[in-house]
Structure 1
Amino acid sequence: MSISTISNKILEKECSIISFHPVKNDDNQNIDDSPKVRTVNYQNTYRLLSKNPFNETKTLEAVQEELEKYIKCDTRYDPQRAAGICASLSQAVRDRIQDMNFDRYKIVCVVDIGEKKGQGIISIARFLRDFSKDKYLFRNFENHFLFITVMVGAFYFE
């Protein structure tokens, strides 16, 4: 069998590329004889905006309610409990915001708790964002013994 004959058979789909024998399925029929299965292709919607966009006022209310559940005005700073409170408060705020079903947003919640001893603190968060779609907000709580900062980021996800 010459190379031109093999290439002609491959082009005419009379044999497979690997074995050079006619391609057959389990019933010893050529695959070309089997009926063609049509696949359904869906087109993109090209919808760029969220149907339920991130609402900052509802989110701030939810953050404030969760802060009031966890922290009272006379709460003292406890270093052993601070990490657990940070984790549980962050999870509670994030779950509460995700229950609002903001469409196409990833929610990130960061909680900082620190003891007040007359010092000053500057907390900075930097991230790249699209100013038209990505949102962030923060809420501070302070008493004589501690400070809490809750930062929520809602990042648009296409």
Structure 2
Amino acid sequence: MRFTQGSQGAGQSREQERDTGKMSMRKKSSVVPPKIGDRRSNHLAPTNVVRQSANSRISSVSTVSFMDEPHEPMRGPPVRLEPTFQLKPNKKFPVVQVKNILKDVLESYLSEEKYEPELCRQMTKTISEVVKARVKDLQVKRYKVIVLIHIGQLKDQGMRMGSRCLWDPENDTFSSYEYKNNSLFAIGSVYGVYYE
């Protein structure tokens, strides 16, 4: 089949018109996908869409939050911080003052009490809270305060109490006091454990 120059030129011009029409459509409105390797190209999250028009370069941008996605670790040398702990206390635990607090509280609460199991159960809780509050008022920093109060009926029996603790003998200490009246006995112990 032979084409004449006129028909061949007409065929080319129609193809050129179609191509130029497609090009002009692309220039008016197009969608630019995100780059490969961009964090926004995650198939689970919607991607950013940028529309370009003939008059303005970017007409709208939709954003997506990536707060829940894992992020890259920080690059560079790690930040070094100075240690803020103390190895020794500024002020030692006041054993004598704590013993005076125990004596004062036990004598004031139990001087006229008779042994009753239910009442003594509540008294141990109350006395331990009062002693703990008064020891904390001494404001000895960095010491954990542990208060144990034992109240029992006084009859002709023998009793021994002991305790074992794992602690630093230079900084940790305790104070205790025994109280007796006609019907009961009470033993109060306060442990001061230094917390680094």
- Provide TM-score, normalisation by structure 2: 0.59
Structure 2: stretches of 5+ with no match in the other structure: 1-35, 41-62, 65-77
Counterpart AA for 2:131: V
Query: Using the alignment, how far apart are the partners of 1:47 and 1:151 within structure 2?
Result: 26
SS at match of 1:131: coil
Residue 88 of structure 2: SS of its match in structure 1?
A: coil
Query: CA RMSD, aligned part only?
Result: 2.4
Aligned to 2:143: 105
| 1:136 lines up with 2:159 in the alignment | no
Count of residue pairs the alignment pairs up: 128
Larger radius of gyration: 2
Unaligned segments of structure 1, at least 5 residues: 1-19, 28-38
Q: Where do 4+ consecutive residues of structure 1 move more than 3 Å? A: 39-42
Distance in 1 (alpha carbons) for counterparts of 2:174 and 2:86: 23
Is 1:50 the counterpart of 2:50 in the alignment? no
Contact residue 138 and residue 152 of structure 1 kept, 8 A: yes
Note the 1:42-81 alignment, pairs <5 A.
42-45=81-84, 47-72=86-111, 74-81=112-119
Change (3 A) 1:46 1:91: closer
Q: Please list the CA deviations of residues 111-131 of structure 1 after superposition, one character each: whole Å capped at 9, or x if unmatched.
A: 000001111111111111211
Aligned letter for 1:22? D
Write the distance in 2 (CA, Å) between the matches of 1:80 and 1:46: 44
| TM-score (ref. length: structure 1) | 0.72
Q: Is the 8 A contact 2:96 2:175 kept in 1?
A: no
Contact 1:66–1:93 (8 Å) recurs in 2: yes
Query: Quick one: percent identity of the two aligned structures?
Result: 25
Contact preservation (8 Å) 1:53, 1:103: no
Distance 1:58 1:44, change over 3 A: same
Which amino acid in the other structure matches residue 98 of structure 1? K
Given the alignment, which residue of 153, 156, 178 partners 1:118? 156
